[in-house]
């Protein structure tokens, strides 16, 4: 069983490849896929790139070309729900494309001809992800005290489970975040890829799970917060999370 591990940007996967035993790089569809073993598990690392189409292309390549039997997405997201703070972790239980709108032909958010607007995470893979994330948030060595203080990560970093909304927009205006909150009140986080990967995995019957660390609140400050978090925190969290996750997965 091979596990595809996707992130949108290189900083979100920083240092992961160094852990792969017998690593080889394959180029396909203009992307690099790093194939190797970690904790005895076969792993394929790839960058989805940014946005739904790029992510769908990468996910399809992981499945069709590399034969992965499950896909995990790790990376950062903007917090939408009032309870979700910078530094928190969101594990997606379901995924919606918040910019999908073929109304009035189909209901708002419904993916045409699928008869559904939301795609589900795989329950067992998500359970493993939650167990791994629990260890990471409790381990104070993952993010040192100085970094925590700089990002205002006071108090326990919490784990939330719920809807992740994906769209081809970086949400960086408070009114836009408020409109998304009003339209999708149960959405925990907003990002640009997971719902597309969820749809591809649904098409192929491949289990999918996604975890997102909250880098910003999708507000007027989002681009500044996102950039700093991406460079200083995201890679460390991803390394700790994947290291904890792989031993939990069936080999």
Considering beta carbons, is residue 131 or 221 the nearer one to ligand ADE? 221
Looking at the DSSP bridge assignments, the partners of residue 44 are 4, 35
Residues 123-142 that bind ligand ADE (CB under 6 A): none
Kindly state the smallest distance separating residue 40's Cβ from ligand ADE, in Å: 32
Task: Give yes or no: 139 in active site.
Answer: no
77 touches ligand ADE (CB under 6 A): yes
Among 5, 6, 44, 78, binds ligand ADE (CB under 6 A): 78
The window from 34-42, 99-107, 194-202, 213-221 that contacts ligand ADE (CB under 6 A) reads 213-221
**Which residue's beta carbon is nearest to the bound ligand ADE?**
78
Distance CA 137, CA 134 (A): 5
Kindly state the smallest distance separating residue 234's Cβ from ligand ADE, in Å: 9
191 touches ligand ADE (CB under 6 A): yes
- 239 near 117, Cβ under 8 Å? no
Kindly state the smallest distance separating residue 174's Cβ from ligand ADE, in Å: 11
Considering beta carbons, is residue 192 or 201 the nearer one to ligand ADE? 192
Of 106, 35, 46, nearest to 72 by C-alpha is: 46
Output the six-digit token pair for 213: 């660390």
Considering beta carbons, is residue 41 or 237 the nearer one to ligand ADE? 237
CA atoms within 13 A on the CB side of 124: 6
- Burial level of 224, CB count in 10 A (0-12/13-18/19+)? exposed
190 touches ligand ADE (CB under 6 A): yes
The window from 31-39, 64-72, 144-152, 188-196 that contacts ligand ADE (CB under 6 A) reads 188-196
218 touches ligand ADE (CB under 6 A): yes
4 touches ligand ADE (CB under 6 A): no
Task: Give yes or no: 42 in active site.
Answer: no
76 touches ligand ADE (CB under 6 A): yes
Catalytic residue among 122, 216, 219, 225: 216
Looking at the DSSP bridge assignments, the partners of residue 41 are 38
Chain residues in the site for ligand ADE (CB under 6 A): 76-78, 170-172, 190-192, 215-216, 218, 222, 226
Instruction: Give catalytic residues, as residue numbers.
Output: 12, 216
């Amino acid at each position: 069983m091979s596990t595809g591990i996707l992130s949108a940007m290189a900083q979100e996967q920083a240092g992961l490849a160094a852990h792969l035993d017998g690593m080889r790089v394959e180029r396909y569809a203009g992307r690099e896929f790093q194939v190797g073993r970690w904790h005895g598990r076969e792993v394929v690392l790839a960058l989805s790139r940014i946005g739904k189409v790029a992510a769908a292309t990468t996910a399809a390549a992981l499945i069709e070309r590399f034969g992965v039997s499950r896909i995990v997405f790790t990376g950062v997201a903007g917090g939408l729900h009032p309870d979700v703070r910078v530094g928190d972790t969101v594990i997606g239980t379901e995924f919606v494309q918040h910019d999908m709108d073929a109304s009035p032909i189909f209901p708002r958010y419904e993916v045409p001809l699928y008869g559904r607007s939301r795609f589900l995470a795989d329950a067992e893979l998500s359970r493993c992800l939650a167990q791994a994330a629990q260890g990471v948030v409790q381990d104070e060595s993952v993010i040192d005290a100085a970094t925590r203080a700089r990002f205002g990560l006071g108090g326990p970093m919490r784990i939330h489970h719920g809807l992740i909304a994906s769209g081809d927009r970086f949400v960086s205006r408070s009114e836009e975040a408020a409109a998304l909150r009003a339209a999708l009140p149960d959405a925990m986080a907003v990002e640009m890829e997971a719902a597309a990967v969820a749809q591809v995995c649904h098409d192929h019957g491949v289990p999918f799970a996604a975890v997102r660390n909250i880098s910003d609140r999708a507000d007027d400050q989002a681009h500044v917060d996102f950039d700093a978090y991406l460079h200083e925190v995201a890679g460390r969290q991803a390394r700790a999370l994947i290291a904890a996750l792989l031993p939990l997965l069936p080999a």
